[in-house]
Amino acid sequence: MAAEDLPSEFDVVILGTGLTESVAAAAFSRVGQRVLHVDRRSYYAGNWASFTFSGLLTWIQQHHEEPLPEEAQDWSSLLEEGEELIHLSHSDCASIRNLQVFCFTSEEDEEEEAPNTTEEETGGAAEDSECADSTEEETKETGEEEEEVREEEEVREEEQTTPSAALRQSEPTKKKISYAQLLKEGRRFNIDLVSKLMYSRGSLVDLLIKSNVSRYAEFKNVTRILTYRDRQVEQVPCSRADVFASRQLSVVEKRKLMRFLTSCVEETEEQRAYNGRPYLEFLRDRQLGDNLQHFLLHSIAMVTEDTPTEEGLASTRHFLRCLGRYGNTPFLFPVYGLGEIPQCFCRMCAVFGGIYCLRHSVDGVVVDRDSNRCKAVIDSRGQRITCSHFVVEEGYVAADRKRVATPTRFLSRAVLITDGSILPSDSDQQVSMVTVPPIAAGCPAVKMVELCSSTMTCMPGTYLVHLTCQSVGSAYEDLSPVVTRMFRTPESHDQETCPSVLWCLYFNMTDGSGLEAEGHNLPSNVYVCSGPDGDLGHELAIRQAESIFQKILPEEDFCPPAPNPEDIIYDGDNTSSSAGGEEEKEENDGVAEEEKQEEEKEMLEEEKEMLEEEKEMLEEEKEMLEEEKEVLEEQNLQTEE
């Protein structure tokens, strides 16, 4: 894989392969712009990436390492008269912080051990030692330490066989997956750094369809919406079928819920009267009862208690609009993880001639002092590349040049690998969206997505759980209380029935929604893209990409459909790609006159055929009678008049 030199002239240079940058790249390339798309990293999608298990461990390690001191290279020799250089940042590590890793499963398989050693309790004694300084811990070390603790625990258990332990023995003992197994099956994981879902009528899905980029990926339905309430995980009925099947709702609640949802669809005077007042108040006044109020506020509108009514209703409507397009919930999830999506747009960009180069960065932007416009960029190898526009991910832009909300907003993220679903059901292949309302005053509301192995994001027998919320404290402070309550970890108590956490990662990521759209201290033809935001959908990224595109090419269509391969005219051939040469000849021989006669003849024959078919109808009719009998039977059921 020999590397060549890059061409030195482009219309648009794009730095960073996150969703926004990738969509923009595809859009530019699609309409004929020469695009150079580079990323400093060795992988696609930046903070939108997904990793195999070992890939994630490497990523963690990279973020633990001290960033290399940024030594700005002197590219002054590449500058011309009247030009100056804006240096770009080498390290975007600033966007990730507070990484903490825990491993709660044993290091190795224990084949020799007795079957009753269910290593389910890993003991509270280890808590303190584990939490302390885990940031600096190597994951492997955590595992080893864990091993010792577990052995102690076993001894205890054997001494005093608690009733619950006895009970567990009687069940077929499920072997807990070891850390070694996670590593071995590591390539079956595709662990996303961001956790989002695709609203089935959201702007991302619309764009995928419109542009034909959807053909590069496959998608799975989110199969159910869950919520955490009164220390229990419950399924939220949202579709008609769900409401019908729900066991938690009384029939009267069912009616009220359906009626409420139906009435939401259209805006009414009654609703407008609540504008500016909390949605919760609106719900309360509908006398729906606690159950329904919880579902509607937290799981369907997915808003907080003080969200205004008009906003709550808008999200409710969006939810309803998305419902049932592809399945029973409003959401889709890409097979192999969200990291696929930016790559799909990159592929489209490449198909239309965009040039791709990972492990390659832009060191600086050459600015013409007079016009304050970017004329070129200097890449990390010191090549000067002329461009008319430069699009860059915010992580590369020095803090003093961009305008962001203060204080910096962060997202808290947790990624868990667990050994069971938080709500087991008939199928072990559920994809669940879980809403967790604030567990105490001042705590953030948490969005949780549980992925099963058929999404190709985790190995069979495990589940991948993503937790996301707006940061209040560190990711660990924000999310571990939820994890401890809903899962079995060494810190949890009496959680016999909960799935165990095998491994988990906490980190904070800059919230992309903090980036201002305008007002950066940059040339006018440099465009900054924000990183991932905390919303469940992808609206921000798509909107941003479209607006950058429209600023540069206001007349052009944004991501028109890629043509079908059959319809493309190749250089030097005018024939269709599907038809072989010989057949083509045959066609050309046909004289128009002859064709006409042929057609007439055919029509006559078609008629003859119809007569024939009519004859057959008699036979059919006989059979129809049977059907009719069936219909009658049904009517019998319907009425006894």
> Scanning residues 546 to 585, which ones bind other proteins (CB under 8 A)?
562-563, 565-573, 576-578, 580-581, 583
356 binds other proteins (CB under 8 A): yes
CB 514 within 8 A of CB 6: no
Q: Measured from the CB atom, is 158 or 557 closer to other proteins?
A: 557
Separation between Cα atoms, residue 393 and residue 405, nearest integer Å: 16
Q: Between vectors from CA 211 to CA 52 and to CA 396, what angle results, nearest 5°? A: 50
* Binding test (CB under 8 A) with other proteins, winner from 351, 423, 439, 445: 351
- Comparing C-alpha atoms, which of 381, 389, 392 is closest to residue 4? 381
Asked whether the bond before 407 is cis by omega within 30 degrees of 0, the reply is: yes
Name the token pair of 594: 């002859």
Least Å distance, CB 344 to other proteins, is: 6
Based on the shown chain and the rule CB under 8 A, indicate whether residue 393 belongs to the binding site for other proteins.
no
Q: Please tell me whether residue 602 binds other proteins under the rule CB under 8 A.
A: yes
628 near other proteins, judged by CB under 8 A = no
Q: What is the DSSP string of 67-86?
A: PPP------GGG--TTEEEE
3-state secondary structure of 566: helix
Minimal distance in Å, beta carbon 419 to other proteins? 23
Question: 602: which 2 tokens?
Answer: 């055919």
Calpha distance 186→534 (Å, rounded): 27
Decide if residue 220 touches other proteins (CB under 8 A). yes
Q: Per CB under 8 A, does 216 bind other proteins?
A: yes
Site string for other proteins, 468-487 (x = CB under 8 A): --------------------
* H-helix or E-strand spanning residue 611: helix 592-638
Tokens encoding 239 = 């579709």
Of 519 and 581, which CB lies nearer to other proteins in the complex structure? 581
| 453 counts as binding other proteins under rule CB under 8 A | no
Tell me which residues in 39-98 interact with other proteins (CB under 8 A): 44, 52
Q: Given candidates 68, 114, 155, 252, which one binds other proteins under the rule CB under 8 A?
A: 252
In whole angstroms, what is the distance from residue 48 CA to residue 337 CA? 10
User: From the CB of 376, what's the least distance to other proteins, in Å?
Assistant: 19
User: How many Å apart are CA 584 and CA 157, to the nearest integer?
Assistant: 81
**Helical axes 19-30 vs 539-552, angle rounded to 10°:** 40
Query: Residue 434's CB: how many other CB atoms inside 10 A?
Result: 25
Tell me, residue by residue from 268 to 307, as one string, x for binding to other proteins by CB under 8 A and - for no binding.
----------------------------------------
Q: Which of 85, 205, 377, 387 is the binder for other proteins (CB under 8 A)?
A: 205
CB of 233 to other proteins, least distance (A): 21
Residue closest to 419 by CA, chosen among 120, 169, 191: 120
CB of 377 to other proteins, least distance (A): 16
CA dihedral 47, 50, 56, 60 (to 10 degrees): 10
Nearest distance, CB of residue 430 and other proteins, angstroms: 15
Binding mask 180-199 for other proteins (x = CB under 8 A): -------x------------
Among 125, 241, 398, 632, binds other proteins (CB under 8 A): 241
Q: Quick one: 554 or 580, whose CB is closer to other proteins?
A: 580
